[in-house]
């Protein structure tokens, strides 16, 4: 034998030993493997015949998995289920005791035995009927107790509905697990510890499925009973409203409870004030969360007591209705309930934030202990959650009592009282909704929140200021007409008052928006920089407008002519520009700086009277006195001719020409009566020419004659 063969002999020997060992295990396993699971895990055939007509397919076999053995469970009565469970337990224990089990297999066995015990208990469960007493008369205390019953039943109903939903999802998951385990079991061709574990897991899952289905059946029965009791309780709550009788003793109990709650509320408020006075700087880091939770706990207590006090107040008012005493006018319960609900949402949001912060702190949360009470943070979290639930319960109770009060009011006082209460509630809701809209924060100015209401108030102040300014302008206009005050004076006074009122309104509006005087100074400084650049022209016109208003070189109604040749009457002097109306009825907006920086002719600056020179001619042989008389009479026909003695029209002889006498009509006119300045001479020339022609005084026309003489011819 070669050395190579010698070196391999030990390995061959070990391999042979291992094969022998495995063969022995297989033989042993086959020896303990149950061959007839039906007779071992289920009742015998004789017992089946005596107790129930069970199907032969209801067989548990560890060798051949049968997924149908539990299908008849729902068809069995309680006694049959008990008998089956006992037989399964005995057979299961007998078979397991003869099998080699691994640690994991033992875990499956313990779980299965626990399921069998739980299944026996639930089969023995008997659903108890819920009894709701009925009386001919009810005290207010008995009626209120119905709400407590109704609340308890509602909570139970919600719990059962959630449990049924969870059981349904769990049953579907167990069925999927059983199918997956069955597929996995088919992949094993040899008997092993792992195959035993899978088989035990399969039958444990099947028993778990039966248990879950049984629990779901019980939950459905309980839910049906609860829902029936809820209907009865709701009927008692509504029908008993017409059968309530007064009870002075219960009223005194409510009043005493109200007094005790108020005292408790005062103590809690003092504790909250004490916690608030504690310096926040002394609480740093993670310890701050414990301090906040302690304050949050007291806040929840106080809100729960306030809700309870509100419920008691409503009950006392219901008692007054029953005794036919005057009810409370305009109760503010609806707004209080809405406010409390909002406070509940806010407190719960804070609580969730605190809880997330504690969870995020990890191991450090174990060191969070409030020194004042020596309570850990986890205790505060649990207490806050419990108090929040109590707060919500008291809120819902108060809401129920408030709705019940409306029904009692309608029964006792008639539908009109209910309508009045509904109208009052609607007004309160409208006021609350409007307050929420108005108090909505739009932005902040220097950490001062500016709400929509602030903006509306600021706009309202400015609108009122403009309205007042227009009223004052109308009053000044009426006074001016009665006292013959000039139009320009009235305009300037009205304009100054307008700017003063608007300035005051803007300052008040800015203060409403939270902008103080120091900020206005900063804005003014910023504007001064802007004036030096882009706003220079606008500021120049603004200052020019102030100069025109206060120095009054121009007045409304003045006839002016600009250096650019534009001529017209002033209609308005504004801050930035001045409005002119030309003879063509065209409105021009001229920048105020043009009136200040350039030459302007004001025909009516100090005196509306001005002298006009109108030249005309007459024949050399005309009667000069006659001409003067006719022309002066013609000038008087025009309404803008000044007719007083100091300013009577006159005719001057200016020059004696070669062909005619050159006259000049001197007339004083009132510029305020002129539409423009260009047509004045035209009006006078028209009248002068017409008057002279009517008097047969002709204007001479220069004529030249040319005489041509023919010379005599000379004879040579």
Q: pLDDT tens digits for 93-135?
A: 777 777 777 788 888 888 888 888 888 888 777 666 676 666 6
The two beta strands, 600-602 and 559-562, are: antiparallel
Q: What is the mean pLDDT of residues 400-406?
A: 80
Lowest mean pLDDT among 131-135, 153-157, 382-386, 633-637: 131-135
The predicted structure's pLDDT at residue 327:
64
Q: What is the mean pLDDT of residues 600-628?
A: 82
Report the DSSP beta bridge partners of residue 443. Answer: 450
Coil, helix or strand for 645? Answer: helix
Q: What are phi and psi of 577, to 5 degrees?
A: -145, 170
What is the C-alpha separation between 486 and 274, in angstroms, rounded? 72
Using CA atoms, how far residue 335 sits from 279, 310, 330, 332, 404, in Å, is 34, 11, 11, 6, 16
At 29, is the pLDDT very low, low, confident or very high (cuts 50, 70, 90)? very low
Instruction: Provide Rg for the chain, Cα atoms.
Output: 55
At 85, is the pLDDT very low, low, confident or very high (cuts 50, 70, 90)? confident
181 vs 278, residue with greater confidence: 181
Contact 613, 606 (CB under 8 A): no
What is the C-alpha separation between 141 and 318, in angstroms, rounded? 11
The pTM of the full predicted model, rounded to 2 decimals, is 0.44
The predicted structure's pLDDT at residue 155:
83
- Nearest Cα to Cα of residue 564 among 548, 549, 547, 582: 582
- Nearest Cα to Cα of residue 604 among 643, 640, 639, 564: 640
Torsion sign across C-alpha atoms 175, 179, 181, 182:
positive
588 vs 92, residue with greater confidence: 588
- Indicate whether 401 pLDDT > 70: yes
Residue identified by tokens 């015990």 is 117
Average model confidence (pLDDT) across the chain: 74
- For residue 326, how far is the Cα from the chain centroid? 39
pLDDT tens track for 46-63? 333 344 444 443 445 555
Q: What is the mean pLDDT of residues 211-233?
A: 81
The predicted structure's pLDDT at residue 474:
87
What does the DSSP 8-state code read for residue 709?
A: P
Most confident by average pLDDT, 237-251, 388-402, 518-532: 388-402
517 vs 230, residue with greater confidence: 230
The predicted structure's pLDDT at residue 270:
86
253 vs 545, residue with greater confidence: 253
pLDDT tens track for 654-710? 888 878 888 898 888 877 666 655 578 888 888 888 888 888 887 777 766 777 777
- Indicate whether 260 pLDDT > 90: yes
At 263, is the pLDDT very low, low, confident or very high (cuts 50, 70, 90)? very high
pLDDT tens track for 437-489? 777 777 666 556 778 888 888 888 989 999 998 898 888 888 877 766 666 66
Lowest mean pLDDT among 24-28, 180-184, 700-704: 24-28
- For residue 163, how far is the Cα from the chain centroid? 37
pLDDT tens track for 119-177? 888 877 766 667 666 666 667 787 787 788 878 888 888 888 888 888 888 888 888 88
- Indicate whether 425 pLDDT > 60: no
Report the DSSP beta bridge partners of residue 139. Answer: 245
The predicted structure's pLDDT at residue 259:
92
Give percent of the chain above pLDDT 90: 2
Q: What is the mean pLDDT of residues 81-100?
A: 76
The predicted structure's pLDDT at residue 364:
61
Contact 72, 58 (CB under 8 A): yes
What is the C-alpha separation between 691 and 679, in angstroms, rounded? 19
Torsion sign across C-alpha atoms 592, 597, 601, 606:
positive
Q: Hey, what are 70's tokens?
A: 């539990």
What is the C-alpha separation between 394 and 315, in angstroms, rounded? 13
Contact 391, 342 (CB under 8 A): no
The predicted structure's pLDDT at residue 642:
81
Q: What is the mean pLDDT of residues 380-389?
A: 87
What single string gives the DSSP state of each residue in 184-223?
A: HHHT--S--HHHHHHHHHHHHHHHHHHHHHHHHHHHHHHH
For residue 324, give every residue at least 6 positions away whose Cβ sits within 8 Å of its Cβ, in sequence order, or none.
412
- Indicate whether 608 pLDDT > 80: no
Report the DSSP beta bridge partners of residue 138. Answer: 244
Q: Hey, what are 250's tokens?
A: 């219960």
Q: What is the mean pLDDT of residues 259-282?
A: 78
The predicted structure's pLDDT at residue 418:
47
For the beta carbon of residue 106, count every other beta carbon within 10 angstroms.
13
The domains found in the chain, sorted by start residue, are 9-48+59-239 (no CATH), 246-432 (no CATH), 445-515 (no CATH), 609-694 (3.30.70.100)
End-to-end alpha carbon distance in the chain? 192
309 vs 422, residue with greater confidence: 309
């Amino acid at each position: 034998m070669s050395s190579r063969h010698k070196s391999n002999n030990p390995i061959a020997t070990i391999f042979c030993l291992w094969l022998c060992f495995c063969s022995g295990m297989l033989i042993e396993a086959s020896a303990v493997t149950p061959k007839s699971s039906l007779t071992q895990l289920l009742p015998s055939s004789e017992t089946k015949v005596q107790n129930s007509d069970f199907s032969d397919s209801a067989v548990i076999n560890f060798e051949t998995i049968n997924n149908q053995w539990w299908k008849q469970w729902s068809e069995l009565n309680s006694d049959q289920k008990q008998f089956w469970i006992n037989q399964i337990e005995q057979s299961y224990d007998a078979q397991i005791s003869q099998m080699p089990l691994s640690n994991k297999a033992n875990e499956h066995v313990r779980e299965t035995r626990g399921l069998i015990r739980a299944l026996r208990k639930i089969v023995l469960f008997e659903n108890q009927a819920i009894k709701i007493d009925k009386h001919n008369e009810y005290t207010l205390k008995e009626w209120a107790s119905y709400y407590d019953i109704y609340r308890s039943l509602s909570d139970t109903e919600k719990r059962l509905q959630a449990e049924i939903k969870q059981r349904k999802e769990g049953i579907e998951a167990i069925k999927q697990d059983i199918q997956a385990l069955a597929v996995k079991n088919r992949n094993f061709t040899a008997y092993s510890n792992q195959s035993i574990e899978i088989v035990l897991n399969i039958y444990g899952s099947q028993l778990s499925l039966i248990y879950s289905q049984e629990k779901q059946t019980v939950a459905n029965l309980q839910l049906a009973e609860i829902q029936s009791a809820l209907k009865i309780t709701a009927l008692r709550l509504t029908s008993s409203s017409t059968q309530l009788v007064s009870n002075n003793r219960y009223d005194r109990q409510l009043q005493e409870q109200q007094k005790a709650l108020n005292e408790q509320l005062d103590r809690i408020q003092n504790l909250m004030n004490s916690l608030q006075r504690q310096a926040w700087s002394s609480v740093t880091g993670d310890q701050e969360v414990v301090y906040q939770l302690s304050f949050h706990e007291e806040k929840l207590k106080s809100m729960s007591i306030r809700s309870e006090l509100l419920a008691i107040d409503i009950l006392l008012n219901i008692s007054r209705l029953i005794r036919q005493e005057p009810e409370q006018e305009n109760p503010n319960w609806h707004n209080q309930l809405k406010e409390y609900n909002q406070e509940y949402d806010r407190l719960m949001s804070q609580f969730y934030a605190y809880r997330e912060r504690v969870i995020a702190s990890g191991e450090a949360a174990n060191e969070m202990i409030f020194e004042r009470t020596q309570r850990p943070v986890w205790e505060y979290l649990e207490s806050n959650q419990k108090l929040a639930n109590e707060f919500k319960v008291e809120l819902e109770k108060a809401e129920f009592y408030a709705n019940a009060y409306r029904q009692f009011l309608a029964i006792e006082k008639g539908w009109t009282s209910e309508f009045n209460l509904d109208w009052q509630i609607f007004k309160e809701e409208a006021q609350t909704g409007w307050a929420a809209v108005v108090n909505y924060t739009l932005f902040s100015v220097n950490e001062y929140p500016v709400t929509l209401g602030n903006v509306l108030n600021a706009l309202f102040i400015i609108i009122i200021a403009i309205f007042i300014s227009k009223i004052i302008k109308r009053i000044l206009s009426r006074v001016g007409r009665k006292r013959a005050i000039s139009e320009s004076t009235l305009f300037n006074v009205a304009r100054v008052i307008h700017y003063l009122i608007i300035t005051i309104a803007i300052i008040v509006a800015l203060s409403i928006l939270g902008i103080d005087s120091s900020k206005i100074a900063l804005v003014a400084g910023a504007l001064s920089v802007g004036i030096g650049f882009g706003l220079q022209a606008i500021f120049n016109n603004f200052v020019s407008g102030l100069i025109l208003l206060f120095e009054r070189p121009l007045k409304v109604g003045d006839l002016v002519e600009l250096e650019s040749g534009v001529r017209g009457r002033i209609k308005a002097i504004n801050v930035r520009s001045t409005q002119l109306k030309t003879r063509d009825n065209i409105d021009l907006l001229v920048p105020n700086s043009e009136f200040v920086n350039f030459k302007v002719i004001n025909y009516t600056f100090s005196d509306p009277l001005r002298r006009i020179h109108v030249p005309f001619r007459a024949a050399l042989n005309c009667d000069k006195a006659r001409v003067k008389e006719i022309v002066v009479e013609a000038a008087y026909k025009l309404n803008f001719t000044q007719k007083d003695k100091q300013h009577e029209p006159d005719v001057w002889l200016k020059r004696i020409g070669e062909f005619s006498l050159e006259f000049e009509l001197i007339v004083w006119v009132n510029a305020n009566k002129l539409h423009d300045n260009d047509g004045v001479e035209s009006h006078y020339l028209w009248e002068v020419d017409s008057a002279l022609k009517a008097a047969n005084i002709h204007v001479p026309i220069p004529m030249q004659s040319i005489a041509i003489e023919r010379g005599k011819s000379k004879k040579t």
